[in-house]
Structure 1
Amino acid sequence: MKMNPLGRTGMTVSELCLGTMTFGTQTSEADAHTQIDMALAAGVNLVDTAEMYPVNPVSKETVGHSEAIIGNWNEKTGRRSDYILATKHSGEGLAVVRDGEAISSKTIAPTIEGSLKRLKTDYIDLYQFHWPNRGSYMFRKNWSYDPSGQNREETLANMLDCLEALQAQVDKGNIRAFGLSNESAWGTAQWLRLSEEKGYPRVASIQNEYSLLCRMYDTDLAELSVNEDVGLMAFSPLGTGLLTGKYQGGAVPEGSRKTLNPELGGRHSPRVYAAVDAYLEIAKRHGLDPVHMALAWCRTRPFMASAIFGATTVAQLEHALQSVDVTLDAQVLEEIDAAHRAHPMPY
C-alpha cells in the first residue's frame, strides 16, 4: 500500500481510505468491524467518517451511529493508535444536526467532544468541515452555481473565528490536523492565507468528489493541491457504484444504493451510462477489472492523497483492496483521456 503525505502535518496516509458512511444502515456493526480489521490488515491506515453518518438515509435517529460503531471497535480492540482517524463537522443546511446551525466557534468544541465520546478516543487525527457555510457547487449544484450572494467579509470573519476555535482544540490535544470537504479553490486559498497569517491550523486536505465520471478537481484545485501541499481525499471514486457496471442496462441489484436512492444523488442521468460503457470497454480491452481500473487511475493523479471507498459488504471490500496490485500502462491512460473528452461531466 503506497503512502502519501497528509499535507504538511508529518502524517502519511494510505492511497486507499476506508469510508464508513454505510456503517449502521446498510452495513451491520459486525460487518463494519470485520471491514476495519480487513482494511488495516491490507495496509490501509486511514478511516474516514462523519458525525452525520450513516447515510441512505440520513436521519436524526441515526446521526452519530457510524462514529459509535468505530468507537466500539476502538474499545474492543485497543488499536486506536494503529490508524489515522478522520471525521467531519456538519454545517448549515442539515436540519437533522443542530437544526442546521452553521459551523462556528460556538459549535466546534461541543461537536468535537461529541465525536470523541462516540469514537471512544482521546483525539481525532484529521478534523474536517463537511461543507462550507456559504454553500458549495458540489453535488450537482455546479449547473446553477451563483456565488454573487456571498458576503466576503462575513465569510472571512467566520473562517478566522473557526480557525481560532480549532487552534484551541489542537492545544487541548483533541485534534491533530484540519481538513476541508466540498470546498472550492477560492475558499481553500482563504483558509490557507488566514491560517498562515495567524499561525492557526493549516489545511491538510480537501475531501471532494472525484472519479472517472466527476473531474471538476482537475484544474484550479489541482494546481492549488500541488503548490500548497493540500492533497485530495477523493470520495465516490467508483461513482457511487456506477463504474462497477452493476447499474448498466437498467439493472438495480438488490441491496444496492440505487434501491434506496434511485437518482444516486443526481448522478443518474441520460448521459452517464454511455460514459460508463466507454470505461467498461477500456477495462475489457485490457483485461482489467473496472473497479480496479477506477481506483488505480486515482492513484495516478498528481494531487491525490487517498481515495475513499465504501463497501456495503465484506466481499466488496476484499475486491476493492486488490486494486493496489494494478498499475495502468500508458495506453490505458490515453484511452481513459479519450473517453473523458468524449463524455465530459456526464452528471
Structure 2
Amino acid sequence: MQQIALGTTGLQVSTLCLGTMTWGSQNTQAEGHAQMDRALERGCSFWDTAEMYPVNPVRLETLGLTETIIGNWLAARGGRERLVLASKVPGGKGVAREGGPITGAVLRAAVEASLARLQTDYIDLYQLHWPNRAVYHFRRNWGYNPSGQNRAEIEANMIEVLEVAAALIAEGKIRHIALSNETAWGAAKWLALAQTHGLPRMATVQNEYSLLCRHFDTDWAELSALEEMPLLAFSPLATGLLTGKYAGDVTPEGSRRALNADLSGRVTPQVFPAVAAYMGIAARHGLDAAQMAIAFCRTRPFPCIPIIGATSLAQLDTALGAADLTLSAEVLAEIDAAHRAHPMPF
C-alpha cells in the first residue's frame, strides 16, 4: 500500500487508516488481532483507536478495552516501529470522568492511561475526541447554536491544553497533537494560538466524511488544503449504508444497525434514494460499491485519508482493496450529479 506524508508531521502513513472501534464489542480480541495481522500484511500500518472504544454501545465498564486489545497484540507480535498509532481523549460529551471537559490535567492523565493499555512508550498522534465547545457533528447541524460561548475561556483552555501537549511531546509520550469532530473556526484558532505562543501545531483533524456526509467540502476544505491539515475521514461507508446492505430498509443480523436502529440519525426517508443512486453508479461501472465510496475520499481537493472499519476479514479485505482503485472521470462526474440530486440525506 502506498505511503504518503501526514501533513507537516514528517510521518509517512498508509493511504488507508485502520479503524478499531468494534474490537471488544462486535469483535472479540482474537478477531481484532486477526484484523491487525491482515491489515499489516496488506501494508495498512496507520491505525486509529480511542479511550472510549469499543462503541455500540459505549459503556463506562468497557472504556479502554480496544486499546487493551491492541496492546496485547503489540506485546505478542512486537514491532511497534512498524505502526503509526493514533488515539483520542474524549471531552465533555463522553462518559469518562463524569463528562468533564478536556483540560491539561485530563490530557496528561488520559495519555498516560492509554500508554499503559497500549503497552507502548509513545503514541504517534493523540487527538481531542471532541471540542469542549458546542459543535455541529453527529446530526447536531440541524439545531446548531454556537452563540453564548465565552471566547476568552475557550482560548485560555486551548493554551492550557497546548502547553501540556508540548510537555508530553518533550517527554516522548506523544509525537503530535491533533483534532477530531472540530469546526473550521476551532481549527483556525488552535493553529493561531500555537503560532503565537510557540506551542505544538494541531496536525490533523478526524471528522465524518463520505458520499453521504459532505460538510467538509467548503470552509473546512480550504483550511485543510492551505494549512496542510489532513482529514482523517471516519465513516467513509456511512456506517455501512454505502455497501448497500441496508437497501430496502432492511437490518441484517449482526450488523451495526441491529445495535443502533437509526445508525445515529443517518437512517432517514432521504437516505435510501441517495444510496440507490450511488449503488447504481457502482453497478454501471462494474465497481464494488464499498470500494468506490472509500476511493472517492482519496480524490478530494484536500488531503484525505479514509478510516476503514470491519467486523469480518472479508469486509476488511474489500475495504483494503480500495487502496488500489482509481476512479475514472466518468465515475466522478456521475458521483457529482448524484450529490447534487441528494445533497444532504441525513
Residue type at the aligned position of 1:149: G
4+ residue runs over 3 A deviation: none
Q: What do the CA deviations read for 1:32-67 (whole angstroms, capped 9, x no partner)?
A: 011111111111121000000000000011000000
In structure 1, the residue corresponding to 2:287 is in which secondary structure? coil
Structure 2 distance, partners of 1:191, 1:140, is: 24
Match of 1:154 in 2: 153
> In angstroms, what is the RMSD of aligned CA positions?
0.8
Number of residue pairs matched?
346
| 8 Å Cα contact 1:72/1:120 also seen in 2 | yes
Deviation at 1:289, TM superposition (A): 0.6
Match of 1:74 in 2: 74
| 8 Å Cα contact 2:91/2:101 also seen in 1 | yes
Residue type at the aligned position of 1:298: C
Residue type at the aligned position of 2:236: P
Match of 1:267 in 2: 266
Match of 2:138 in 1: 139
Scaled by the length of structure 1, the TM-score of the pair is 0.98
In structure 1, the residue corresponding to 2:127 is in which secondary structure? strand
| 8 Å Cα contact 1:234/1:304 also seen in 2 | no
Structure 1 distance, partners of 2:56, 2:156, is: 35
Residue type at the aligned position of 1:55: V
Within-5 A mapping of 1:3-18 = 3-18=3-18
Within-5 A mapping of 1:66-105 = 66-94=66-94, 96-105=95-104
Within-5 A mapping of 1:101-250 = 101-250=100-249
Identity %: 58
Match of 2:32 in 1: 32
Deviation at 1:3, TM superposition (A): 2.5
Q: Give the unaligned 5+ runs of structure 2.
A: none
Deviation at 1:93, TM superposition (A): 2.6
Residue type at the aligned position of 1:323: A
Match of 1:303 in 2: 302
Q: What do the CA deviations read for 1:290-325 (whole angstroms, capped 9, x no partner)?
A: 011001111111223410011011111011111122
Residue type at the aligned position of 1:78: G
| 8 Å Cα contact 2:180/2:206 also seen in 1 | yes
In structure 1, the residue corresponding to 2:26 is in which secondary structure? coil
| 8 Å Cα contact 2:134/2:145 also seen in 1 | no
Are residues 1:41 and 2:44 paired? no
In structure 2, the residue corresponding to 1:4 is in which secondary structure? strand
Scaled by the length of structure 2, the TM-score of the pair is 0.99
Structure 1 distance, partners of 2:211, 2:271, is: 11
Higher mean C-alpha displacement, 116-125 vs 189-198: 189-198
In structure 1, the residue corresponding to 2:4 is in which secondary structure? strand
| 8 Å Cα contact 2:249/2:272 also seen in 1 | no
| 8 Å Cα contact 1:5/1:305 also seen in 2 | no
In structure 1, the residue corresponding to 2:203 is in which secondary structure? strand
